[in-house]
Amino acid sequence: MAARNLGDARRLFRKRRFSEVIRLLEPEVFRFRESADYFLMLGTACLHTGDLGGAASYLGRARQLKPGSVTALLGLAAVHFKKAETDPALKLWLEALDEDPRNPVALRGMNLLRRGMNRDEVQAFVDAGKLTQLYPRLPGRRRWPALLALGVGGAAIVVAAIVGLPRLGAPASTRPGVAGIFLPSGGGMRVDVASSAAFTLSEREVEQTFKRAKEYLLAWRDNPACVQINRLLLSNASAAVKERALALKGFLRPPNFATFQDPYPYRDVAGQPRLYDGCHVSWKGKVANLSIGDEAIVFDLLVGYESERELEGTVPVVLEFAADLQDGIGLEVLGRVVADGGILRLVGVSLHRLVP
């Protein structure tokens, strides 16, 4: 299983599908904790998705395991340069040139520093999208699949012009099955007038809420869809409506850091946990009360306390995958909200270790 995951990740990495590489590899951090290649691939993927904190953490571990790795040195130098920390970046580029005296990326970085760039100039360089010029070189793609794809793509365009098939660049197909779920027809079928609930809705409001939930799902915006579904489940809507709302909830899918959208702040979720049950959040904080078991890792996330400035609240987190954690570290947790009995906790989906 481990070898298969690593092989799949390498294939995705060659195809530049970095967010999928991260999603596949991050849960395996314990399994590959002594593999420099694993941390190099994961850290480089983080670089290319903009997660510089994750990149620094994983490439730093790769450097420990393989001190002369030019890839790790260049990646870490790019992270320091992005933060305008030119002295550490210079040191890392010099180390890279010791290993590979003609390395073009390290030479490019050295030339930038010779210009005497100040913080504003570094920021302008980053804002112009040029930071990738300082990333480690990626392995070359195989040319024949690309040429084959180009030929097939060209043929598809010709066929589309003839028979009216969707052209390249057309929106991806919507979620099959969602559009086919409808509210019960007929008046009086959508509201239970005898029920007491957290949200009291009219029949028209039930219809509008259900419609919004479907529209969000069809647009692949799962978080707001989940809130609308929960609003129905917590309302005076009839049992038939709630049954259909639960059917919609079955279409929700977990995101990763690259695809996550529509975030909700801690204060909103903590104020109404049941309304956000099943939504995903991305919160930063510090790890406390860490307990590592055979089947799960449990800890408290001190939300907002990653810089020890303001504690917004404490949330229990459960991880059903291995992770290299210690009490007191800064962490960003992407997790699913669970509100059993109105008590808020998170089931972790993915983690990013924050660089101090």
**Which pLDDT tens digit goes with each residue over 116-164?**
778 888 888 888 888 889 999 887 654 434 434 434 444 333 333 333 3
Q: 7 with 126, same domain?
A: yes
Q: How far apart are CA 226 and CA 232, in angstroms?
A: 10
205 in any annotated domain:
yes
What CATH number is given to the structural domain containing 32? 1.25.40.10
Q: Is 235 helix (H, G, I), strand (E, B) or coil?
A: strand
H-type alpha helices, the chain: 2-14, 18-25, 36-49, 52-65, 70-82, 86-99, 104-114, 119-127, 143-163, 203-218, 222-233, 239-249, 266-271
Burial (Cβ within 10 Å: 0-12, 13-18, ≥19) of residue 218: middle
Structural domain ending residue among the three candidates 199, 218, 253? 253
Q: 96 with 30, same domain?
A: yes
Contact 299, 291 (CB under 8 A): yes
Contact 303, 312 (CB under 8 A): yes
Domain range for 181: 171-253
340 in any annotated domain:
yes
Q: 6 with 129, same domain?
A: yes
Query: What pLDDT is attached to residue 222?
Result: 95
Q: 116 with 10, same domain?
A: yes
Q: 114 with 42, same domain?
A: yes
160 in any annotated domain:
no
71 in any annotated domain:
yes
117 in any annotated domain:
yes
> Could you please report the per-residue DSSP string of 33-92?
TT-HHHHHHHHHHHHHHT-HHHHHHHHHHHHHHSTT-HHHHHHHHHHHHHTT-HHHHHHH
Structural domain ending residue among the three candidates 134, 162, 184? 134
Q: 278 with 241, same domain?
A: no
Domain count, the chain: 3
- pTM for the complete prediction? 0.56
Q: 11 with 105, same domain?
A: yes
236 in any annotated domain:
yes
For 28, how many CA atoms within 13 A lie in the half-sphere containing its CB? 21
Residue 193 structure tokens: 């007038």
Report strand pairing: 297-303 vs 313-319. antiparallel
Q: 122 with 210, same domain?
A: no
182 in any annotated domain:
yes
Q: 11 with 127, same domain?
A: yes
Contact 331, 256 (CB under 8 A): no
110 in any annotated domain:
yes
What CATH number is given to the structural domain containing 272? 2.40.50.140
Q: How far apart are CA 332 and CA 170, in angstroms?
A: 35
Structural domain ending residue among the three candidates 253, 275, 305? 253
Q: 16 with 126, same domain?
A: yes
Q: 224 with 277, same domain?
A: no
Q: What does pLDDT average to in each consecutive run of 10 residues of the chain (356 residues)?
A: 68 88 81 86 89 85 90 93 88 91 91 81 84 86 43 39 33 66 73 78 92 94 96 91 90 85 95 95 96 89 93 94 88 93 89 81
Q: Is 337 helix (H, G, I), strand (E, B) or coil?
A: strand
Q: 88 with 13, same domain?
A: yes
Query: What pLDDT is attached to residue 162?
Result: 31
